Amino acid sequence: MLNFAGQLINLFAAMLLLISFAMLSQRRVLSLINLFALQGLVLAVSTMVVAYSSSQHHLYYSAGLTLLLKVLVLPWILHRLIRKLNVKWDVETMFNIPTTMLVGIVLVVFAFNLAAPISQMAGTITRGTLGIAMACVLLSFLMMITRSKAVPQVIGFLAMENGLFFAATSTSYGMPMVVELGIALDVLIGMFILGIFFFQIRETFDSLDLKHMEKLKED
Amino acid sequence: MTIFSTLLPIDTALGVVVCWLLLGLTGLLLQNTALITRYIFPAGALAALLLAAAALNNLGGDSNVAVLALGLPDLPFHLRLDALSAFFLLLLGAASVGISLYSAGYFRDMKGGALGLLCFEYHIFLASMALVFMADDAYLFMVAWETMALSSYFLVTTDHHVAQARRAGFLYLLIAHVGAIAILLSFGVMQGGQGDYTFASMRDAQLNAFWASVTFLLALFGFGAKAGILPLHAWLPEAHPAAPSPISAMMSGIMLKTAIYGILRVSFDLLDAPQWWWGALALTLGLLTALYGVLFAAVQTDMKRLLAYSSIENIGVILTGIGLAIIFHSFQKEALAALALTAALYHSFNHAFMKGLLFLGTGSVLHATGERNLGRLGGLIHRMPKLALLVLVGTLALAGLPPLNGFVSEWLLLQAFLLSPGLPHSYLNMLIPIAAAALALAAALAGYVMVKFYGVIFLGQPRGSDVVGQKPFDEVHDVGIWERIGLTWLALGCILLGVFPVFFILLIDFVSQMLVGHTLGVSAAQTGWLWLTPIQPERASYSPLILFVIIIAGVLFTLYGVKKFYHARLRRSPAWDCGYPEQTARMQDTAEGFGQPIRQIFQLFFGITREVPGPFDKKPHYHGETSDRLWEWCYLPIARLTDKISALTGKLQHGRIHAYLLYSFVTLLALLAFVR
């Protein structure tokens, strides 16, 4: 049974990594949001599997919270936002995608290399997935760097939080409930604030392209 | 009375601090000029008097400690009132009585809102200085020290709509912060790795010679920045003219002494066993500062800048005394160390009174005429006789003339120099006579500067014929009653300190007993209070009271003679105008002209730019400026370097969010790879 759960968790971890790569290469904003929601779903399910197999009951709450926030609420807000901002069908690239993917692979190797000594020390069932969790964080970060529009950057930021959450689950069966609740609230509030910023940015620059913000620099 | 008997002096002192804070807050809330000037400032003066009384009461007593439950958790504020603290609290209280009383009159024309703010900052400034003197751990000391720096910064920039005041304030804040960092580092080294920052544990910490020296050098640098020791003096001549005059008086008279207190506290109390070369360094720096200050004072044309440079000189003199005391102390010549220390402490106290008096005097002149430039003043003794008399006392005291107080301390210091041969170090034995000569030169030049200061402002005729500064000469009025009370308090201090030095030295003895374990009082009291004999009667002694009586008698006698024999035949007529048919007031000696010989002789020190008219100019125009060479040698290179580094760093800033994200990404990766 445990072995099967372990296999299942590894599978979900692999799916997370795959979705991260997909997000990295996805140009369209709408699909990006859907991928983000999918990532949240995978995260929630894998957390539930971890909770079941290690009988850590508080992880059920975490999984529920993830499901509610990252699969339902945040994607819904993002959808509404892009509809209102009228950027639903926006396409954007900064670097060409193959290069980005290659850099992503290097990052994954780096992350695994980094995680190896830590996962040896960890006694959890999910220890093998720490490398993947870190890779997810780094890939999301990379996504933020390579995108020029505001909405994908915010999605990158949220995806990074997904990676962190996964890392916490895989090393130590999640963070204390208080911390998790705090982070969830932060993410939600952050989303609201960024949503307001989107409108402000568009009003000022007539575009959500962040390269216009260079004008703000003082000489 | 039972309440008072259980009340320790430190409680009284703390009460005064709280009282000042409350007064400041009340002033801030009231924002009413009449109420603030009539009640708050005099109440502050009363509190200051109470502080002085408490300090005087405790000077000979045991040191009392208190622990305040303020501060951070597990890190309370420690306070201690020992002889050294009490002495400086006495200085603070006694001098600020006069300054607060004067302020009550001086600020009467200020707008309520601005005055409320000023009153708040003023009392915070006073309270923080008192806390600096009472702090018994590095934590409270730094908090109070920084509060002092910040409140005085806001006071300096009272006229913040003037660009020059803002610039002066910035320079002051910059140097104050650089100094504060050095002080903090010094405390960090001094606690010797125990992690306990109370002064008690610093006294116990065993430092080896190297780390003790590092501590001393850091402290000297840090406190030197506040005191204006060369080459960190640049803020003084900028900040003092920019601030309102009572603030200048407070900063120059009292705040500079917090730095002196810090140097004494660190080198004699917290560090045991000072090394002789610390003293030699302090001595050299002190002499350089004194000479530099007095030379620049001689060529100034702005009266407050002149006084600021004179403050630099006096700090130099005090530091010289401290340096000498360290040298003697390190060679176990405690009697001589006590003498030099007494001179330094005495001069600190004197300087608070006389420089306070003079700065306040320039404030009154500025108030009456709206002019700081010496070149447009003159003849004010006719319109402001009371002020002229009071300022004359300060001028004579600062010039170091007997029987006033400036003479006593400089005389004591020179005695310490003259008694010094016999040190077991041949270089020092050669250095010290030279130092004594340099000190005498500085003292003489200080006299020259004071003649210029007084002569150009008060004597002669107004230089703009009938206009002095921005007012018609006839409309200039003498000082008001509050100002006069404040000035009189300080002038009386100068006279009493000069005429009855033995009593005051008995007070200083408590401090020297604590710091070097020896006193001067024994030998001073031998021959009675009339005669001041630092070591032995056959070597040197001085009786200021007898001299005072003789001088007064001489003056009265001459006055009588003049009245009797000369005034009877007095007649006023045009001056004998042979060769000077058109003599005007503008032909008087000017401030620049008066400083000209000094500028010629010591040309090397000054950066001089001059525009001299040619012989055929239709409208001849002369313009001369004397600038500080150290500014271009020390400060500008640092400023340029900082500018360059900032420009390089600025290149990192594109305004592109992606670049910023990339920076943090690369940093993250590098750190991860590093900890791996």
For residue B475, what are its two tokens?
Answer: 């409309």
In Å, what is the CA distance from A123 to each residue of A120, A164, B519?
8, 19, 73
Provide the token pair at B575: 């001056």
Is B658 within 8 Å of A214 when comparing Cβ atoms? no
Residues of B in contact with A138 (CB under 8 A): 665, 669
Q: d(Cα B436, Cα B283) in Å, to the nearest integer?
A: 10
Q: What is the pLDDT of residues B333-349, one digit of tens each?
A: 888 888 889 999 999 99
Return the percentage of chain B with pLDDT > 90, whole number: 31
Angular region, B195: left φ>0, alpha ψ -120 to 50, beta rest? left
Quick count: other Cβ atoms within 10 Å of Cβ A37?
18
pLDDT of residue B146: 94
Q: Which residues are within 8 A (CB) of B594 and not within 5 positions of it... i.e. 6 or more apart? A: B452, B455, B456
Query: β-pairing, B606-611 with B75-81?
Result: unpaired
Do A53 and A124 touch, CB atoms closer than 8 A?
A: no
Closest residue to B665, CB basis, from A145, A215, A216: A145
Phi, psi angles (nearest 5°) of residue B464: -90, 50
Q: Which residues of A touch B663 (CB under 8 A)?
A: none
What residue spans define the domains of chain B?
A: 627-675
- Which residues of chain A does B661 touch, with a Cβ-Cβ cutoff of 8 Å? 141, 144-145
Q: Tell which of B664, B667, B676 to mutate to test the A interface (max A CBs under 10 Å).
A: B676
Residues with Cβ within 8 Å of B299's Cβ and at least 6 positions away in sequence, in order, are B592, B595, B598, B599, B606, B626
Residue B608: phi, psi to the nearest 5?
-110, 130
- CA B672 from chain centre, in angstroms, equals 53
* DSSP secondary structure code for residue B69 in this structure: E
What's the mean pLDDT in A45-51?
A: 88
The whole-angstrom distance between B652's CA and the closest CA on chain A is 12
**pLDDT value of position B1:** 39
Q: Is the dihedral of CA B115, B117, B119, B121 positive or negative?
A: negative
Asked if B134 and B10 touch (Cβ cutoff 8 Å), the reply is yes
Q: Pick B656's closest partner by Cβ from A114, A141, A214.
A: A214
Most confident stretch, A188-192, B315-319, B328-332 = B315-319
Residues of chain A contacting B655 with CB distance shorter than 8 Å: 213-217
* pLDDT at res. A219: 59
pLDDT in tens, A83-119: 888 777 666 666 778 888 899 999 999 888 888 777 7
- Give one word for B609, left, alpha or beta, with left for phi > 0 and alpha for psi -120 to 50: beta
| pLDDT over threshold 90, residue B356 | yes
A173-187, B134-148, B262-276, B587-601: which is most confident: B134-148
- Our CA-based measurement puts residue A55 at a distance from the nearest CA of chain B, in whole angstroms, of 32
Between chains, do A153 and B657 touch, taking CB under 8 Å as contact? Answer: yes
* Beta bridge pairs of residue B75: B72
Task: Tell me which chain B residues have a C-beta less than 8 angstroms from the C-beta of A217.
Answer: 653-655
Q: What is the pLDDT of residues B623-646, one digit of tens each?
A: 777 778 778 788 888 889 999 999
Give contacts of B676 with chain A, Cβ < 8 Å: 113-114, 117
Which helix (H) or strand (E) segment is B81 a member of? strand B75-81
| Partners of residue B68 on adjacent β-strands | B77
CB contact under 8 A, B661 and A113: no
pLDDT number for residue B538 = 62
Contact A144 B661 (CB under 8 A): yes
Residues of B in contact with A148 (CB under 8 A): 658
Q: Residue B2: which pLDDT band, with cuts at 50, 70 and 90?
A: very low
Cβ(A110)–Cβ(A138) below 8 Å: yes
CA B199 → CA A68, A179, B17, B132, B514, distances in Å? Answer: 57, 41, 21, 13, 15
How confident is the model over A144-170, as a mean pLDDT?
A: 85
Residue B249 confidence class, pLDDT cut points 50, 70, 90: very high
Residue-level pLDDT at B112: 77
HSE toward the beta carbon, residue B478, CA cutoff 13 A:
14
Tell the residue number behind the tokens 């109070």, with chain if given: B144
- Listed by number, the residues of chain B in 632-671 with a beta carbon closer than 8 Å to a beta carbon of chain A are 653-658, 661-662, 665, 668-669
User: Would the pLDDT of B357 be above 80?
Assistant: yes
Q: Which of A114, A138, A211 sits opposite B656 (nearest CB)?
A: A211
A213 interaction partners in chain B (CB closer than 8 Å): 655-657
Shortest CA gap B642–chain A (Å): 17
Interface check for A213 against chain B (CB to CB < 8 A): the answer is: yes
C-alpha distance from residue B100 to each of B109, B276, B361, B487 (Å) = 16, 41, 14, 10
**CA of B643, closest CA in chain A: separation in Å?**
14
Q: Is A113 on the interface with B (CB under 8 A)?
A: yes
> What is the reported pLDDT for B162?
86
B535 confidence band (pLDDT: 50, 70, 90): low
Query: Is the separation of the CB atoms in B214 and B189 below 8 Å?
Result: yes
- What is the spatial distance between Cα B366 and Cα B357, in angstroms, rounded to a whole number? 14
Among candidates A113, A144, A217 on the partner chain, residue whose Cβ is nearest the Cβ of B653: A217
Which residue from A minimizes the CA distance to B653? Answer: A217
Identity of the amino acid at B138: A
| Confidence band of B525 (pLDDT split at 50, 70, 90) | low
Instruction: Please report how many Cα atoms fall inside a 13 Å half-sphere around the Cα of residue B225, on the Cβ side.
Output: 20
Is the per-residue pLDDT at B400 higher than 70?
yes
Q: Do A141 and B673 count as a contact with CB atoms less than 8 A apart?
A: no
Q: Which residue of A has its CA nearest to B673?
A: A114
Q: Identify from A24, A141, A147, A204 which residue to disrupt to test chain B contact, counting B C-beta atoms within 10 A and taking the largest count.
A: A141
How far apart are alpha carbons A73 and A69 in whole angstroms?
A: 5
pLDDT reading at B3 higher than 60: no
Look at residue B14 and tell me whether its pLDDT is greater than 80: yes
- Say whether A213 and B662 touch across the interface (CB within 8 A): no
Q: Answer whether B654 sits within 8 Å of A217, measured CB to CB.
A: yes
Q: Are B413 and B343 in contact (CB under 8 A)?
A: yes
Which DSSP category does B424 fall into? S
CB B519 within 8 A of CB B512: yes
Predicted confidence (pLDDT) at residue B462 exceeds the cutoff of 80: no
A214 touches chain B (CB under 8 A): yes
A145 and B672 within 8 Å at the Cβ level: the answer is no
Indicate which of A144, A207, A212 best probes the interface with B, i.e. most B CBs within 10 Å of its own CB.
Answer: A144
For residue range B570-624, list pLDDT tens digits in order.
666 666 666 666 667 777 777 778 888 888 888 877 877 777 788 887 887 777 7
- Mean pLDDT confidence for B196-222: 87
pTM across the whole model: 0.78
> What does the DSSP 8-state code read for residue A95?
S
Structure tokens at B480: 């008001």
Say whether pLDDT at B181 is over 70: yes
The count of CB pairs under 8 A between chains A and B is 38
Whether B669 sits inside 8 A of A110 (CB atoms) is yes
Tokens of B363: 């404030």
* Contact by Cβ (8 Å): B313, B297: yes
Best of A110, A118, A141, A145 to substitute, by most chain B Cβ atoms within 10 angstroms, is A145
